[in-house]
Structure 1
Amino acid sequence: MVLCELKQQLDELLALSDGYAYCNQEVGRLACVQGQQEAELTALHTSIEAQNQKLLASTLARVQKEGAIRKGLEQHQQKLVAQDGQAEVLKQQLAASNLARESLSTTVTTALKKLALATSTQAQRVDSVEERLASLVERQRECEVQPPPGWATYLERNAVSLVALAVAVFTLGLNLLG
């Protein structure tokens, strides 16, 4: 009976040791996943910045082009005002320019909405990663607080059982000899 109890306790200690090793393995794996996510996050930030730069450059070029078109249209309008027959053509060009400007404004607004959505999504991913990291740190602390099982711990936990076993063996020896 005592040997069965000792075997059961030894099995429990081995299971605890396996659990501790598993925790350490999971901490390592989660650290690797964290590194990968940080790399993805960095790449995503770089991509967003590149897209922002492209969008700004494109918008600036369109605004400059629109300014040049508007200036040209104003010059043409002044010339056409002097010529009665060509005033209607200028109005049509101006209407087309306004339509193009509205289209450009819509495009820029859509691009800014997409950028805001991407930024929001990125912020959510960052929050998620931070929560996972906090969880991992807490798990690591829990694993570090638990002392690894060893013979000293085993003897300390089972001192009474071991003394009782020694007394029983001694008594059995006396009974056999005497």
Structure 2
Amino acid sequence: MRLVPLTLLLLFAAAWPALADTADGDPKPEIKRDAAKPQPQNSVHTLRQIPEACARLEGMFTGQAEDPYTFAVVRISPTCQARARFVDAAKAKPSQATGWKFNDLIRVPNANCPSQQVVVRVWRKPAAVAPPALDAQGKSRIYLEEQKQAAAAGKLAAVPMYAATMAVEGQACR
């Protein structure tokens, strides 16, 4: 009779790491990082670079009560050839149920207001990307006319995607 409670306790202890991935209920991110160093107001700072999407996430604490933090996705270089797309999280609605992976959790405290921090969640949707088959000369080539026809038919290969959400947490300072 005493084996049942003991067995349940052991099962719960074994499942605890999976149930409590993070303190705020997010799944465990693919990238493990500590909170960033506190950032001052009106100072633009880089949160993360995503080279495959030719994008950089940057933000700034504004000190304004109605809009305490500005957040932007900036193109790294006009000549960068992206191998992934950065999409609007509000439209994509990333979640593990829809094939997205929780990639990164970035926390940045406000240097002027220690009770406030910004939390950025980065999601990644992988795609099976493979180089084109080799042609008769043994080269992997992409032909413009074939790609135009595939695009017109809606049969382009999927590319990896990224999305990010931002939230300001904590008490606002005056």
TM-score by length of 1: 0.23
Q: Larger strand proportion, structure 1 or 2?
A: 2
Structure having greater relative contact order (Cα 8 Å, sep ≥ 6): 1
TM-score by length of 2: 0.24
Q: Larger helix proportion, structure 1 or 2?
A: 1
